A and B are shown apart, each in its own frame.
Chain A
Amino acid sequence: MSDSDQQQGLRTPKKSAEPPDLLRVCGVTKSFPGVKALKGVDLHLKAGELLAVIGENGAGKSTLMKILAGVQDYDEGEVLVDGLTVRFKGVEDAFDKGIALIHQELNLADNLDVAANIFLGREPRKAGLLDKARMRRESSIFLDRVGLKVSPDQIVSDLTIGHQQMIEIAKALSVDARVLIMDEPTSSLSQHETEQLFKVIKDLASKNVAIVYISHRLSEVRELADRVTVLRDGDNAGELFRQEATHDNMVRLMVGRDISKYYALEPRSHGAVALKVDKVRTIQNPKHALSFEIKSGEIVGVAGLVGAGRTEMLQTLFGVMPALDGSMEVQGHSVVIRSPIQAIQNGLALVPEDRKQQGLVLEMAVRENMSLASLGRDQNKGFLNHRREQDISREMVAEMKIKTPSDLQEVQYLSGGNQQKVVLGKWLAMKPRVLFLDEPTRGIDVGAKQDIYKLMEKLAEEGVAILFVSSEMEEIIGMSDRAIVMHEGKLTGTLMRDELTEESVMQLATGTQTKPISNN
């Protein structure tokens, strides 16, 4: 096995006199159960180069980066460092070759001090004990290199997020990283911290460290990148050099394909306003007040990139996290919603993003899950109404074609699609007036997806107002009568059905453009 690997390594192109690329990826594929995340991706990187990797949600960026950093293995293809084939068995192997990944969520032991974090797992020792003096001395060198003026003795949790990010970079430098992969490094940084980070990044690049920079923020990409590699649906969509990397070009490559595959959606007539949201502010994005309306029978999609605050918006509207301020009206009556209980009483329902954590009690039967929300309504002086529970559950199993040996089967043994139908069934039993769906088709197979789309349409026909969050562009375009788009906690615009294209959504989702919110 290793023999053939080496042979392949020797055969790699050495046509010109130029030194081989520092890092090269050839035709790498990776499958997960049910999805092919990477379909043969290529990538190359020279020392000191600043490469940006961009793409829509689910384009395969994170998977590719995890492979490069040894976090994940790949199926086919080849990864070469300095022209030699490598296969990382773990993060340590990648470290050995000088590749370090800085995750979006920082991985620091924040109860320890700065020096301890920089040398975590590689602590210098003297007579078997920690050599603290040396750790302190050497960490100051790396802290200097990233321009961070903090003491090595400082406890990490006392630092700002921006400084913690610098510690991560210092840590990477301490293992002699030649390739630094950064996944959305600015997502939780302030403007000032971002500028600071850019200075460090540019400085590192000038010292021959190669940077792979992943971001949804196209303006940052434009400012930093020497070159941009665009991924789409697990494949290379194209490459742009610095001067070509305009907003429009990047968006065009990210979206690419034609949207000819329309969903069977006919224009529907809508009723009166079912839900009116007026200047609601969420805890997570207190800077932006959200205002919009949905009519009964209308399906409204919520588009945006990961971290745009869509889930937080739904959870706030449903009372999981109380809103800071603002008001809501359901069918013309003003309502106060500070808990899911109040939301349900007012005819709202939420199919949450994380079905296993928030939607289902996995150890309980289909029937018990199905009735969980309606038990209170159907109670008989506090006692369970077994008869009604059974009737509703059987009706839902039949209506939604849930595949289960019986409705007494524990839901943990059902497939993802059938589990999602159980969550939906739980809410349909409540006959909601407004239905929130958060990524309703994530991780489920095509057949179940179609079933859920049909169900959404049927509910809309029956007059339910539907607000759904989706990261799948096709779903937003295919299912929405109207879409609202969010960017970093802000509603950046509304698109009517005939205005919905991947480009128009992307422009708003990346904050390139804004468009007034219209409710008609």
Chain B
Amino acid sequence: MKKIYGILGVFTVVFILTAIMSPSFLTPYNMERLILRTSLFGIISIGVAFVIITSGIDLSIGSIICLIGCGLPWLLVKMTVPLPLAILIVVTLSLLIGLVHGVLITKLKLQPFVVTLCGLLMYRGITRGFTGDQTQGFGKFFSELRWIGVGKVAVPGVPIDTFGIPVPFFLLLMVAILASIFLNRTIYGRYLLALGCNEQAARYSGINTDRMIILAYIICAAMAGLGGVLFILDGNSAQPVVLGNFYELYAIAAAVLGGCSLRGGQGTIIGVVIGTALMQVLRNMITLVDWIPTHIEYAVIGAVILAGVVADEVVKRISASRRAAASRL
């Protein structure tokens, strides 16, 4: 738990600063959007956290979002595939992508960076191919389905038109709780953490490390697929060229900010969620605060992440040397 105090502190400071600097930050509509964006990005960040914990990386998340996000309306509207079948297809496809990544990485010993970089290129290219690079969307249809993306749940005493909790927030809550239980309470979570620190020792201890790593890539792709569905349900329409661009980097950055080490073996789900929230507040701040030019967004985000990991490393070293000193006594 101690590990998340730092990121929680930074989040609080940035949140308060933004509220002071921009009067429109704390408006109900802005909060709604902020919660919604945090929920969508939170889900994909939790997915990539599993891969990062195995000391891997997944660069294909943005393109999976594009593939699934554009593929779903394409199947439903263009191809008039029945809804249950369309859902079955996107779910299977997401899981299959993760499985293929995992198998290539463990059995063929390819580097995660390379495998998922190829995925990044391929899935977007494929999507632009089968959609003819045309904007995909639901139009006026599927309004019940779209409730999952745009629906709101009323807070007692507040008119729903003013403020409601976006439905995806509850999905994030569910995903986060399940992921947390999986990581901390099951033997498989322990296996992931152990092999992330030292794969050889895990293998010597009788852990099927290949299977666990494959599982991590499946979880990651599944979360990216879910993210893709939610992004398109929220946006209603999207262009294959644009949807999901750079989202893998937002997800990785959020996971790292939330305490996942790219060396593997470390990370908490709650940390990743707070990391995501911090990223979204930062983006929001850049948009809302007048004197910050919008086009320097990446520079600000990059600088904050760098500062975050530097601070984390410094704190870790201090506590490590203290503990080493303590155990020598």
Interface residues of A (CB under 8 A from B): 318, 320, 339-341, 343-345, 350, 352, 357-364, 368, 372-373, 375-376, 379, 382-384, 404-405, 409-410, 413-414, 426
A384 touches B187 (CB 8 A): yes
Contact A375 B197 (CB under 8 A): no
Cβ–Cβ contact B208 & A341, under 8 A: yes
- Using A357-B201, A368-B194, A373-B205 as known contacts, say yes or no to A363 and B187 having CB atoms under 8 A apart: no
B-side binding surface: helix, strand, loop or mixed? helix
Is residue B75 contacting chain A, with contact meaning CB distance below 8 A?
A: no
Contacts of B207 in A (CB 8 A): 341, 372
Which B-chain residue is minimally distant from A373 (CB atoms)?
A: B205
Instruction: Choose among B205, B266, B323 the residue with the greatest number of A CB atoms under 10 Å from its CB.
Output: B205
Contact of A373 among B185, B200, B206, B266 (CB under 8 A): B206
Q: Which residues of A contact B323 (CB under 8 A)?
A: 410, 413
- Please report the number of residue pairs spanning A and B whose Cβ atoms sit closer than 8 angstroms: 77
| A-B CB proximity, top 7 nearest | A344-B206, A413-B327, A372-B205, A375-B187, A373-B205, A361-B197, A361-B198
Minimum CB–CB distance for B205 against chain A, Å: 4
Assess whether B33 is interfacial by the CB under 8 Å rule.
Answer: no
Contact A376 B327 (CB under 8 A): no
- What are 20 pairs between A and B in contact, CB < 8 Å? A320-B203, A340-B206, A341-B206, A352-B204, A357-B200, A359-B204, A360-B201, A361-B198, A361-B201, A362-B197, A363-B197, A364-B193, A364-B197, A368-B190, A373-B205, A373-B206, A379-B187, A404-B327, A405-B327, A413-B324
Q: Verify A383–B204 contact, CB threshold 8 A.
A: no
Name B residues whose Cβ lies closer than 8 Å to a Cβ of A: 185-188, 190-191, 193-194, 197-198, 200-208, 265-266, 323-324, 326-327
Q: Specify which of B194, B203, B324 is in contact with A340 (CB 8 Å cutoff).
A: B203
| Nearest B residue (CB) for A343 | B206
CB-CB under 8 A from A362, the residues of chain B are: 197-198
Known A-B contacts A361-B194, A409-B327, A414-B327; the reply to A376 vs B187 at CB < 8 A is yes
A339: chain B residues within 8 A (beta carbon): 208
| A175 → chain B closest CB, angstroms | 38
A382 touches B186 (CB 8 A): yes
Task: Find chain B residues with CB under 8 A from A372 CB.
Answer: 190, 194, 201-202, 205, 207
Interface contact A350-B187, CB-CB below 8 Å: no
* Other contacts beyond A360-B201, A409-B327: 12, CB < 8 A: A340-B203, A341-B206, A341-B208, A345-B206, A352-B204, A358-B204, A361-B194, A362-B197, A363-B266, A372-B205, A375-B187, A375-B191
In the complex, are the beta carbons of A426 and B185 less than 8 A apart?
no
B197 x A376 contact (CB < 8 A): no
- Of A350, A357, A383, the residue contacting B198 (CB under 8 A) is A357
Which residues of chain A come closer than 8 Å to B200, judged between CB atoms?
Answer: 357-358
Knowing A364-B193, A376-B206, A384-B190, say if A359 contacts B185 (CB, 8 Å).
Answer: no
A316 to B194, CA, bound (A): 23
Q: Which residues of B contact A364 (CB under 8 A)?
A: 193-194, 197
Q: How far is the CA of A343 from the CA of B327 in the complex (A)?
A: 35
The CA of A360 and the CA of B265, in the complex, are separated in Å by 13
In the assembled complex, the CB of A49 is this many whole angstroms from the nearest CB of chain B, namely 44
